[in-house]
Amino acid sequence: MKRYYCKNDEEGYTLLETVVAMALFVSVLIPIWITVNNFMLNNFTERKNIAFALAQSELNRTITYRIYKEEMFQAEGYLIERKTNYAENLFEVEVSVRWQKKPETVLVTLNKSVLIYQ
């Protein structure tokens, strides 16, 4: 008669051990992924959107109030430079916005020409 033996020292992982290992791996991996992503993107898109909104606002303010002088000033951590040219009935405005931490890089430049009748 043959006897069959049960092997109690089976090797391998159970489903529960695998799920726990994956949960630990993901809980460590997600914060690392977010940190690396933030360093790589460096919020460039958000800075560009803010710079665009500031440039639009300054351009509208300059045209509305007919501010003819050239000026550079700070707002919300950005440098805003306004250049104007007024000849006869043509009013030209150029607004450039730079990030204060990197003033050599222009983020946004907007130009507009307006005919003014008096």
- What distance in Å separates the CA atoms of residue 82 and residue 111, rounded to the nearest whole number? 10
The predicted-structure confidence for 43-64, as pLDDT tens digits, reads as follows 788 899 999 999 999 999 999 9
Helices (H), 1-118: 15-41, 44-65
- What distance in Å separates the CA atoms of residue 111 and residue 85, rounded to the nearest whole number? 11
Q: pTM of this prediction?
A: 0.66
Percentage of the chain lying above the pLDDT 90 cut: 60
The predicted-structure confidence for 80-93, as pLDDT tens digits, reads as follows 999 999 988 899 99
